[in-house]
Structure 1
């Protein structure tokens, strides 16, 4: 039996915050700031956004490894943060996150229409997130109230390794019964999420304006002067460059055109691993 390349997409693997819900990805970032503050350590919103897309414990560990933050911690406690200190911050982060997740649960404009269109085209909808399962259950519940229910959900602590490893995307492939990773597209607003898709052998779409990289509300994004918006797009594209996304778009609202283009490329025999 000979290998046959897929001729069209079978599934879209979507991130959550900054991709389908929570325009600007405020829910996770603001809580990092608050969790560190409860230990008397200042972390700015910009610093908190840096490792976004990782699992939350790894995110906190990465923040604690930033020399400036490590020095603030040392000034407060007389030592740089250990893994036990990271766990203590994480354990404070978790209830704060669950408590406040509803404040940033609104669907991103256009998301429901796009997902409905993708389903009409026969695509399955998988999802994954840097959130652990206990937070994801709340996120999924709130999204369902707003009309969004994907076919599968994988939390970061449901696999051996979270992003940028490919495990979450591949868990979706298995659960959804997809025949080839090249028939999948991973959509995310963070570089770890794009690396996840790349490492899984999928097509990848990076969102430049709805998520962590721009970090604005929808109204603030729409109010940006065109020249400033172009500058921000260029800055964010440079941030994503090392992760090598196949496509860059502002928000999920532009995804259908990308899906059509990928299907055309697959029909011509192109594969994501060669692009």
Structure 2
């Protein structure tokens, strides 16, 4: 595991990991972060606008309304909208796409609620170590209300959940959802928290909140492959996917990058060691 930055030393060696705050799609559930991506493509298509899967993945990690705003700013997509409507997209258009997107996302999120291998075991291990489990998502609360009970059947039950539309301050890449977890969980030091995410805005969120950050290279948005598609790649192609994703995640500020949540215990052990030695993120 390669470090992006060398942290400063602390004056005390008594710190320990207090909480781990997870993203959802591509991190705990939905290997490849497929559910939101295809729905963006479908929602825009319903307005006669073609959005590629690669374009749809670009702003992943933002709140869904902001994601739509960012897509409408992509030159190729903006040009299509002008051709269709005769004007640039405005807030009313963003609202219209968002309202079209929401029922489609609610209807489909359950199809992608399967946990990523190792996620439940990692959450169990954290609780055994008395480490609190937070979470936040770009999904709105209406989507999370569908996803949460389905995930709970598979033992994916964080101690706290913040949805992407719940905070007046906004979402990623700002620190607000991560810090809302800190407050709700009663954490005493943000520097003893770890943010785990598969998107660059999610890593930025953790860094801005003053936390350790762990990026996921193969299970989430940066690679965007199903388990089966990834397994079908030869070693060289899979290594290229890993390297490309890791570069983007490190560039956004990740302290560590691992393949998936199943590999998190090793990264956490290293963070715990560094905290015990007085290092800070």
* TM-score (norm: length of structure 2): 0.94
Among 255, 269, 272, the alignment partner of 1:260 is 269
* Deviation for aligned residue 1:232: 1.2
Q: Distance in 2 between matches of 1:132 and 1:6?
A: 38
Equivalent residues of 2:13, 2:277 under 8 A apart: no
* Deviation for aligned residue 1:259: 0.6
Equivalent residues of 1:6, 1:183 under 8 A apart: no
Equivalent residues of 1:14, 1:186 under 8 A apart: yes
Runs of 4+ in 1 over 3 A off after TM superposition: 3-6
Equivalent residues of 1:114, 1:253 under 8 A apart: yes
Among 97, 115, 135, the alignment partner of 2:143 is 135
Q: Secondary structure at the match of 2:161?
A: strand
Matching of residue 118 in structure 1 with residue 118 in structure 2:
no
RMSD, matched Cα: 1.2
Q: Distance in 2 between matches of 1:71 and 1:144?
A: 43
Q: Distance in 2 between matches of 1:148 and 1:93?
A: 25
Matching of residue 59 in structure 1 with residue 64 in structure 2:
no
Q: Report the counterpart of residue 164 of structure 1 in structure 2.
A: 173
Matching of residue 219 in structure 1 with residue 225 in structure 2:
no
Q: Report the counterpart of residue 193 of structure 2 in structure 1.
A: 184
Equivalent residues of 1:20, 1:108 under 8 A apart: yes
Q: Report the counterpart of residue 83 of structure 2 in structure 1.
A: 75
Q: Report the counterpart of residue 208 of structure 1 in structure 2.
A: 217
Q: Report the counterpart of residue 241 of structure 1 in structure 2.
A: 250
* Deviation for aligned residue 1:6: 5.3
* Number of aligned residues: 270
Among 23, 28, 45, the alignment partner of 1:15 is 23
Structure-to-structure mapping, 1:83-98, within 5 angstroms: 83-98=91-106
* Deviation for aligned residue 1:114: 1.4
Cα distance, 1:5–1:225 mapped onto 2, change above 3 Å: same
Q: Distance in 2 between matches of 1:231 and 1:96?
A: 33
Higher helix share: 1
Q: Distance in 1 between matches of 2:207 and 2:14?
A: 17
Equivalent residues of 2:250, 2:256 under 8 A apart: no
Equivalent residues of 1:6, 1:180 under 8 A apart: no
Equivalent residues of 1:207, 1:251 under 8 A apart: yes
- Please, which moves more after superposition, 229-238 or 17-26? 229-238
Cα distance, 1:170–1:5 mapped onto 2, change above 3 Å: farther
* Deviation for aligned residue 1:241: 3.4
Q: Any stretches of 5+ residues in structure 1 without a counterpart?
A: none
Q: Secondary structure at the match of 1:102?
A: helix
